[in-house]
Structure 1
């Protein structure tokens, strides 16, 4: 087996753990995101009657729309958090996970604050975190949806650097941001 093959289960496990536990990546994300053609299964709004801003969204449909046209497999629920988190992969390239977490802030569960960097995307607060589970080639971005809720996007690669994973996370965050309910 090659080193890349041996690291894949670690990357998937790390992304699943990150989707449940962590938030963020490296450097501010800037620019003006432009949404791709909306998928009919993704609904945005400001909030639901139960206070969950993600009540009308499905994480797998949202991740599929975010990764549309990039060659990723159809998103599937993670085994650890099937209701709030999904993952997708591009064989030989990377894994991407999305977790829609009501009741969790963008700055929760950051094990090494020296690797976490605040920023904004289209006026929305974010935290970008390099190697959130301590594995090279990982990056995550937590986007604030409401004070106390976040969308956590994580990228893990076995063949790329952490900088490349963070570049990918920033690109995907720009596509994800317009699909999220408005902050506040």
Structure 2
């Protein structure tokens, strides 16, 4: 059985071959971003990046609010192009809509999750590695959104190669 890309990254992190890859307990980090395997929801979002049987490739994004009582609210699918998916204003408007729905339900917001796809390839070998980490603009958007909210915001990039990069702003 072939080893998953995440398992290969974890082995390299444990071996201390790369300065930027670190392990904390069982978790793997690169530049303060948690690296993990994709969930079923992440895989489903990634499939939406490939329209018409993979002929059209574009980044997509969805925002989820996790509420008390295991209730999840989701935004509509936001479709971008092959390089980017959205801007601060669009994300802010979607979050305001979800916040309104959450208030109407009367349930507390546990966290907001902003998931989007990265279509650039990732690789790792003995000599070098390239990971599709969250970009500076991704992180800046999350920082700006967090300024006005009292719940955690998790932003994550779902790479086509089977890795998820995420950071939580508390």
The structure richer in strand per residue is 2
State TM-score, norm by structure 1: 0.31
Larger radius of gyration: 2
